[in-house]
Amino acid sequence: MKRKVRVRFAPSPTGPLHIGGVRTALYNYLFAKKNGGDFLLRVEDTDQTRYVKGAEDYIVEALQWCGITPDEGIGVGGDLGPYRQSERKEQGIYKKYVDQLLESGNAYYAFDTPEELDVMRERLKVEGGHSQQYDANSRNSMKNSLTLSAEEVQEKINAGDPFVVRVKIPCDEEVKFKDIIRGWVTVNSETLDDKVLFKSDGMPTYHLANVVDDYLMKITHVIRGEEWLPSGPLHVLLYRFLGWENEMPEFAHLPLILKPNGNGKLSKRDGDAGGFPVFPIEWKSPEGETASGYRESGYFSEAHINMLAFLGWNPGTEQELFSLEELVQEFSLERVGKSGAKFDPDKTKWFNEQYLRVKSNEELAELIKPLANNTDEKLLADICGLMKERVSFTNEILEKGKYLFEAPTEYDAKTVKKKWKDDSPQIVADLVPVFSNTEFKNEALETAFKTYIEEKELGFGKAMIAIRLAITGEGGGPSLFEIMELIGKEESIKRLNAGIENIKKEIEV
């Protein structure tokens, strides 16, 4: 019988979620929804030394902003959550399976102190063996339940000596599994070490808790970052040792997100250097450090998701813009590439621009209203309409379109130097009565302007830049006649007259 698709995103709350983590969550979500399955959010907090306060809330909020809603787990109540491994440990969930592994001889107690482990590594280094690991070659010379008698082991446990439980990796065996993205992955068990599964404080390690929970939560597909690929063989062995081979999930290890130049994994430092965020939302560490987020930088969550979906996946067509629903329809793991996906800051902005441009002027007006001095909705909507093709973010509408709200106080020096000619003041002065006697509408203004330059045999560009400078203070921008219509006759005429004087003063300085 085909099992219902169930996938999980299983972050450890060790800090803010990198966009690589958000992409993993997204691919899991898309895969689940595409296949009519469930998406679980499980927090893997067994390593208390790496626990960071606030990280779990951050993860929940970030996914919420992205529209990635879990069906079960963190943030979902009742029987369906929250799935937090530290709490599941309290319920004694993992201990049972450790005992089972000890019983079947696939795991053993080890009592070695950190110093003894150091000595072991030193010795193996000097001997020049192939590795310095705790494994089939070295375990027989260490202090564990394979070398000590049953009585000695019991005595140590009774005396409260600290111990760990290690997995007993079989020697010289090919461990194989099929990765949906990479095909067959084969590793010789010689290269694996006897990883710690459980500690005497009752806490399971990542490997054990992860496998046990995937099994108990009936996970059918493990979709995670490439950095977990080396753990695959151990997990496959644990499924076998626990007798769960028939319920083993399929694996898909996602490619890394690379730096813009392709040299290595994208890091926070790359973001700082390139002026782009690597986190979905702003992060404030318990120590008060902050890191910027896409949300606070003015990105639409739909654009962020769309951009992330394309870092590793493509639909096989020319289409680049996909809503979350469309991504659900189109997504497949077969179309996820093996090689790392280069992060492209320009493309990231491009996605935001596309989403901004299809928003209605009214919608954009709502967004800029809290930041604007003028709250006339009709005016704001018109301004958005005029500026939306020229900006990457909504707040830039106000910055770049400053002259739509107030007269310029400065005139772009470069343009003045290059384009403000001896006859420019005269051209502007001539146009004042022309425009004064014209209906203040885009087309009428343009016709009046054209008639004037034809009459005077002036170049279009030359005359245009003169009035643009006077009206906006800038050398470029959206249609000037639309700008004039928007700010109105009185204001336009005032600016033309003031421009002649102000630019003259600016040149004299």
Instruction: Please give the residue ranges that form the binding site for ligand GLU (CB under 6 A).
Output: 10-12, 44, 206, 210, 224, 228
When the beta carbons of 195 and 224 are compared against ligand GLU, the nearer one is: 224
Helix (H, G, I), strand (E, B) or coil at 457: coil
When the beta carbons of 208 and 383 are compared against ligand GLU, the nearer one is: 208
* In contact, 169 and 237? CB cutoff 8 Å: yes
Question: And the tokens for 470?
Answer: 């006077």
State in angstroms the smallest separation of the CB of 227 from ligand GLU. 8
When the beta carbons of 11 and 340 are compared against ligand GLU, the nearer one is: 11
Q: How far apart are CA 277 and CA 98, in angstroms?
A: 42
State in angstroms the smallest separation of the CB of 293 from ligand GLU. 19
* In contact, 50 and 92? CB cutoff 8 Å: no
State in angstroms the smallest separation of the CB of 251 from ligand GLU. 9
Helix (H, G, I), strand (E, B) or coil at 75: coil
When the beta carbons of 86 and 436 are compared against ligand GLU, the nearer one is: 86
Question: And the tokens for 299?
Answer: 């990105």
Question: And the tokens for 46?
Answer: 């067994």
Active-site annotation holder among 156, 268, 359, 419:
268
Q: How far apart are CA 278 and CA 323, in angstroms?
A: 21
Neighbours of 144 (CB within 10 A): 22
Query: Does 82 sit behind a cis peptide bond, omega within 30 degrees of 0 on the bond before it?
Result: yes
CA distances from 80 to 60, 71, 75, 93, 179 (A): 16, 8, 9, 16, 29
When the beta carbons of 24 and 352 are compared against ligand GLU, the nearer one is: 24
State in angstroms the smallest separation of the CB of 228 from ligand GLU. 5
Pairing of strands 196-199, 221-225: unpaired
Residue type, 46: T
Question: And the tokens for 312?
Answer: 């590793």
CB within 8 A of 193, min separation 6: which ones?
Answer: 131, 133, 134, 135, 169
Q: How far apart are CA 303 and CA 120, in angstroms?
A: 52
When the beta carbons of 44 and 330 are compared against ligand GLU, the nearer one is: 44
Establish whether 268 is a catalytic residue: yes
When the beta carbons of 85 and 394 are compared against ligand GLU, the nearer one is: 85
Q: How far apart are CA 377 and CA 329, in angstroms?
A: 37
Q: Which residues of 75-113 are buried (b: 16+ CB within 10 A; e: fewer)?
A: bbeeeebbbbbbebbeeebbeebbeebbeeebbbbbbbe
Catalytically active residues are 268
